[in-house]
């Protein structure tokens, strides 16, 4: 590899920096705008941004020195297994990690046969899909809370509406569904799962 391939005046360096700016724009939208809006987990923002930055530059460098990209992705897989197996990340957080890595890898490619507008369109499709899924799941999802309930009479069939109204008034929240988990006839109480939307 010639010495001027990665010099500051090299077109490849400016191409990498341009793709890096594009990568950071879409990573910012994915993590700070979408992920944080729906999860409110500020503690993971630093991790996701850093993963996106490092993956982008490693893949860009691998491309320049002609090392197989499969080896690079294998390294990311090993690092991910070694690091994240020690912490209980939820499936959704892992999906965002994978999406961050995927976007960074795609943006690191200098694809001459697939121009700038094509890569931009792919980023828009990925980020747009994440946003639509978040919106769809938010509309069709419920929050669940377990309570101890003392009016067993309302648990009888036919009293569903009265039960929902009573539980809603006690909790100060509109309850949409109630599931009976366990009834203790000796103590005359029941353990219920109540479902509501934010």
Look up the pTM and report it: 0.62
Q: How many domains does the chain have?
A: 2
**94, 117, 139 - which closes a domain:** 139
Q: Are residues 85 and 111 in the same domain?
A: yes
**139, 159, 179 - which closes a domain:** 139
CA-to-CA distance for 141 and 168, rounded, in angstroms? 18
Q: Are residues 32 and 85 in the same domain?
A: yes
135 half-sphere exposure, CB direction, 13 A CA radius: 6
pLDDT for res 70 = 60
pLDDT for res 2 = 44
Domain residues for the domain of 103 are 3-139
Query: Per DSSP, what are the bridge partners of residue 149?
Result: 190
Q: Are residues 13 and 54 in the same domain?
A: yes
Q: What is the CA radius of gyration of the chain?
A: 25
Q: Are residues 149 and 112 in the same domain?
A: no
For 13-61, write each residue's pLDDT tens digit: 787 888 899 999 999 999 999 998 888 788 888 989 998 998 898 888 7
Q: Are residues 71 and 167 in the same domain?
A: no
Q: Are residues 90 and 186 in the same domain?
A: no
The secondary structure of 131-197, three-state, reads HHHHHHHHHCCCEEEEEEECCHHHHCCCCHHHHHHHHHHHHCCCCCEEEEEEEECCCCEEEEEEEEC
pLDDT for res 38 = 81
**139, 160, 176 - which closes a domain:** 139
Q: Are residues 163 and 99 in the same domain?
A: no
Residues written for the chain: 198
Q: Are residues 125 and 57 in the same domain?
A: yes
Q: Are residues 43 and 67 in the same domain?
A: yes
Q: Are residues 13 and 105 in the same domain?
A: yes
Q: Are residues 153 and 91 in the same domain?
A: no
Q: Are residues 14 and 83 in the same domain?
A: yes
- Taking the chain (198 residues) in runs of 10, the rounded mean pLDDT of each run is 46 80 94 88 87 87 59 59 58 86 86 71 93 79 80 85 88 83 87 81
């Amino acid at each position: 590899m010639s010495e001027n391939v990665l010099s500051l005046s090299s077109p490849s360096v400016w191409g990498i920096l341009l793709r890096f700016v594009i990568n950071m724009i879409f990573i910012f939208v994915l993590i700070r705008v979408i992920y944080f809006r729906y999860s409110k987990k500020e503690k993971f923002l630093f991790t996701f941004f850093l993963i996106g930055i490092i993956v982008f530059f490693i893949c860009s460098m691998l491309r320049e020195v002609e090392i197989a990209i499969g080896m690079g992705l294998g390294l990311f897989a090993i690092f991910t297994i070694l690091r994240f197996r020690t912490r209980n990340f939820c499936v959704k957080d892992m999906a965002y990690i994978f999406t961050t890595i995927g976007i960074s890898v795609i943006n690191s490619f200098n694809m001459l046969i697939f121009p700038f507008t094509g890569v931009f369109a792919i980023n828009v499709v990925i980020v747009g899909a994440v946003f639509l899924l978040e919106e769809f799941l938010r509309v069709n999802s419920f929050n669940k809370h377990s309570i101890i309930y003392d009016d067993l009479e309302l648990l009888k069939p036919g009293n569903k509406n009265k039960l929902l109204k009573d539980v809603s008034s006690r909790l100060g929240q509109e309850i949409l569904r109630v599931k009976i988990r366990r009834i203790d006839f000796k103590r005359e109480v029941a353990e219920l799962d109540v479902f509501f939307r934010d």
